[in-house]
Amino acid sequence: MPNRKKLIEAVKSLFIVLLLISALILGNKTDLFSHFLSSSAVIAGVADFAKLIGGGQPAPGDAALGGDYSPAAMPRFIMMNSQNGLSYCIKYNRELLADTYRQFSVELGEALGSSGEPVMVPMREWEAALVGPGVFFDFLYEQPLDVLSGWLGMYIDSAAKDHTARYICLARDGDNLDLYYIREKDHAAYKCDTALSYGSISSKLESYSLDNSSFAFEFSEDYDLLDPYFIILNQLPEVYELTAGNPLYAGIDEEGLLGLLNINSIVAIPYTEPDGTKVYVDGDVTLRVYPSGIAVFRQSGEEGLKIGTSNSASSSEVVEKAYSIAAESIGKYCGAAEPCFTGITYNAETEIFTITFDYSLNGLPIKRTDGLHALEMQVKNGIVTNLSLNYREYGFTGSILSPSPLPEKQAAVLVQAKGGGEPLLVYEDSGSSVSVSWLIN
Amino acid sequence: MDKAKIKNFIIIILLLVNMFLLAIVLMDINEAKAAGKQAELSVISILDQNGIRLDESVDISTDTPGTYVLRRDLDEEKKLVRKILGRTYIEDMGGNIYYYRSETGQASYRGTGEFDYLLDAGEILMGNDAVRTAKKILSKMGVNPAMNNDFVEVSEINGSTSVVLTCSWNGSYVFDNKVSFLFSNDSLILISGRRVFDSQISSGDPSLDALTILMRFLDLVKTEGHVSSVISGLTPGYVMNVTSSSVSELMPVWRIETDSGVYFLDGITGEAVANTIN
């Protein structure tokens, strides 16, 4: 008998729990108790559980949709050549560049990932590839191919992984698609077989059935002093006016910056110098945040801001670290611009990597007249020894630049007359204003 | 009051609360149904006033598709290939491209979802119904073919039969994923197309419903000057965007069939999608 009573009481308890859950589910469906349910974290958690059972909307943060490639890896100029011999180039339009790159980035990744051993080829073969059916990418700055392929989700097995290239081309070879590039080190052209067929990009190429550009080398002697791979557009697109400012006036998240640089914000109490510079010291690490918008980090010890866990770092790891720092610091305050990877060098004697990022807006590089980079970082033995961050905020005024810059053909003629080089259309930031000019790169 | 009586009291209170809440829920459901019906009638009336008739066969209460992110699962892919080719030798070509070879044929699969099969003659026979055979093979490959024959194309060229099927996923069409089957001398020799990836890794909110899409279509007709007088089909489905190798997004779209042509509207923005899908 006592056992029977116990069983009945146990069933009653279970029934109470079920009725409570049922009431929560029904209450959630009526929204009668939504305010009450959300006022307590515990009850809100139970309510979310009830929502899931009741088939309601997923809790915020559940939906994280698929990502995109890293903008640090995006080419500045893309030219598509169709089978009909039409050449369509996209320049100076970030949105179009991003959309077009999105169309071909998977194939570029597949080509890099499946590339065979690179073979040096004559320049005339490289130039034939550029004007034949295919797609040409100009990243404006040398890209380590292993880093670029990593950004595209691939891994290079061949010797190409140790090469860097600014110009890359996917070109038709019969039914196949070959990978060509100019290697920075020896300025020679290389070709790799890939596992791709031309059919993987042919239908996309045919949708670009406009002709708006040519390479400088296609004009033979007219532009023989110009960079041969400067692309001359028939018509310059609109270029917009910019404003520039120092985001430090409005304040930045200094605690976030300290965390990003592995500086202990409790230990590193700041002091302010007479000129307004804030200085944080944490052992061997110093961070100075100048009122001009520059932050300088120095580390002399072996602890602090490390890359990975070993005492060395590969170029890919260094680039990735710099990119993550750029994205989480200057990248949050640059307005309409974005920090882009612009170079990495390695000094074998000092064993130091130097890596730079610069601002870019709408496909145009932004050059500071004082020569400062948006980010410049030095890494030795896997430790970040020096880092400078140049905070700048850029925005559009809404107006098209007037007068508009020289058309590309005229710029090409001027550069040819001045002795040659590569004409480069840039925004120039003097600190107080931003203008557009043609530089000789 | 002893524990047993307290429990009885709590049970009675909770039962009353549940009955009260259930009554409210049922009332809400009825009100929502009535409001939904009213909205349907309003939309039909607005379309009518603008010279567009909604065919009776069009189902505007159909579920709205959401957004999904899917990833390629190599183990699953290998299993599916084995169902067609039998025991295979696998070659990793790099770039997420895999070649599968067996005694009966070969296949290649890419990180874009595209695949090709080249089969030895006589291995898979066409039979009396090429479409039926094609659908059966597609199902074996883990790809669900479209449920009805609206999305089946058959053609005969020089004694060869070509069947093109539109794929579906979770009961909805993936309009830009098609698979072609080429039969020659009554034997299947070539399969090529693009598939939906194997594993769902995340999902997003449901998209615009049918009534909203119809109103967006009306805006489109007015702004772009299309002349449509009958809407004869309204089908929710997806288009597939490969965001990076081996990862794709299924984006919701609505296919609207009219007497002036077929239109695709983005299920999230309601804007027209470039008609390169069908």
For B47-74, write each residue's pLDDT tens digit: 888 889 998 888 887 777 889 999 999 9
Chain A contact present for B111, CB below 8 A: yes
Question: How large a percentage of chain A has pLDDT more than 90?
Answer: 55
- pLDDT tens digits along A94-131: 889 999 998 999 999 999 999 999 999 999 999 999 99
DSSP B226: -
Mean pLDDT of A410-418: 90
Coil, strand or helix: which one is B48? helix
Tokens of B143: 């790809």
Chain B contact present for A203, CB below 8 A: no
Element (H or E) spanning A297, and its range?
strand A294-299
Element (H or E) spanning A299, and its range?
strand A294-299
Determine the pLDDT at residue A85: 86
Query: Distance (Å, rounded) from C-alpha B30 to C-alpha A150?
Result: 55
Mean pLDDT of A294-311: 82
Tokens of A381: 């033995």
| A411: pLDDT strictly greater than 70 | yes
Chain A contact present for B94, CB below 8 A: yes
DSSP A307: S
**Residue B16: pLDDT band by 50, 70, 90 thresholds?**
very high
Rounded to a whole number of angstroms, the distance from the CA of B146 to the nearest CA of chain A is 24
Chain B contact present for A66, CB below 8 A: yes
Residues pairing with A182 in the sheet? A189
The Cα diameter of chain A in Å comes to 110
User: For testing the chain B interface, which of A5, A20, A30 should be mutated: the one with the most B CBs within 10 Å?
Assistant: A30
Per the prediction, chain A carries an average pLDDT of 86
Q: CA-based angle B17:B18:B22, to the nearest 5? A: 120
Chain B contact present for A175, CB below 8 A: no
Determine the pLDDT at residue A63: 31
CB contact under 8 A, A195 and B10: no
Chain A contact present for B204, CB below 8 A: yes
Q: Are B154 and B234 in contact (CB under 8 A)?
A: no
Cβ count near B32 (within 10 Å): 10
| A67: pLDDT strictly greater than 50 | no
Determine the pLDDT at residue B276: 52
CB contact under 8 A, A196 and B204: no
**Residue A62: pLDDT band by 50, 70, 90 thresholds?**
very low
**Residue B151: pLDDT band by 50, 70, 90 thresholds?**
confident
| A309: pLDDT strictly greater than 70 | no
**Residue A40: pLDDT band by 50, 70, 90 thresholds?**
low
**Residue A41: pLDDT band by 50, 70, 90 thresholds?**
low
Determine the pLDDT at residue A136: 97
Between A67 and B60, name the one with better pLDDT.
B60
Chain B contact present for A1, CB below 8 A: no
Chain B contact present for A111, CB below 8 A: yes
| A39: pLDDT strictly greater than 90 | no
B105: left (phi over 0), alpha (psi -120 to 50) or beta: left
Chain B contact present for A312, CB below 8 A: no
Determine the pLDDT at residue B147: 61
Q: Point out the residue among B15, B203, B243 whose CB comes nearest to the CB of A19.
A: B15
Coil, strand or helix: which one is A353? strand
Mean pLDDT of B186-209: 87
Chain A contact present for B25, CB below 8 A: yes
Nearest alpha-carbon partner for A383 in A320, A326, A313: A313
Determine the pLDDT at residue A58: 36
Rounded to a whole number of angstroms, the distance from the CA of B181 to the nearest CA of chain A is 18
pTM above 0.95, yes or no: no
- Measured between beta carbons, the chain A residues lying within 8 angstroms of B96 are 109-110, 113, 153-154
Coil, strand or helix: which one is A155? coil
Determine the pLDDT at residue A306: 84
Cβ count near B128 (within 10 Å): 8
Dihedral of CA A24/A26/A28/A31: which sign?
negative
Chain B contact present for A16, CB below 8 A: yes
| A326: pLDDT strictly greater than 50 | yes
Rounded to a whole number of angstroms, the distance from the CA of B197 to the nearest CA of chain A is 13
- Give the pairing of strands B172-184 and B230-244: parallel
Q: Would you give the distance in Å from CA A339 to the centre of its chain? A: 7
Give the number of A-B residue pairs with CB atoms closer than 8 Å: 125
Element (H or E) spanning A328, and its range?
helix A315-328
- Measured between beta carbons, the chain B residues lying within 8 angstroms of A159 are none
Determine the pLDDT at residue A114: 95
**Residue A286: pLDDT band by 50, 70, 90 thresholds?**
very high
| A391: pLDDT strictly greater than 80 | yes
Q: What is the chain B residue with the closest CA to A200?
A: B114
Mean pLDDT of A290-312: 84
Chain B contact present for A152, CB below 8 A: yes
| A51: pLDDT strictly greater than 70 | no
| A32: pLDDT strictly greater than 70 | no
CB contact under 8 A, B28 and A16: no
- Alpha helix (H) residue ranges in A31-137: 34-39, 41-54, 94-113, 123-131
> Among A148-162, B92-106, B134-148, B248-262, which is the least confidently predicted range?
B134-148
- The residues, any chain, with a CB within 8 Å of residue A76's CB and separated by 6 or more, are A91, A97, A138, A139, A140, A360, A363, A365
Between A328 and B204, name the one with better pLDDT.
A328
User: For testing the chain B interface, which of A14, A51, A65 should be mutated: the one with the most B CBs within 10 Å?
Assistant: A65
| B274: pLDDT strictly greater than 80 | no
Chain B contact present for A114, CB below 8 A: yes
**Residue B20: pLDDT band by 50, 70, 90 thresholds?**
very high
- Measured between beta carbons, the chain B residues lying within 8 angstroms of A71 are none
DSSP B63: P
CB contact under 8 A, B243 and A67: yes
- Alpha helix (H) residue ranges in A61-173: 94-113, 123-131, 145-151
Mean pLDDT of A383-387: 94
CB contact under 8 A, B94 and A115: yes
- Give the pairing of strands B230-244 and B53-54: parallel
- Measured between beta carbons, the chain A residues lying within 8 angstroms of B190 are none
Determine the pLDDT at residue A61: 35
Query: Distance (Å, rounded) from C-alpha A181 to C-alpha A75?
Result: 14
Rounded to a whole number of angstroms, the distance from the CA of A207 to the nearest CA of chain B is 10
Mean pLDDT of B177-201: 91
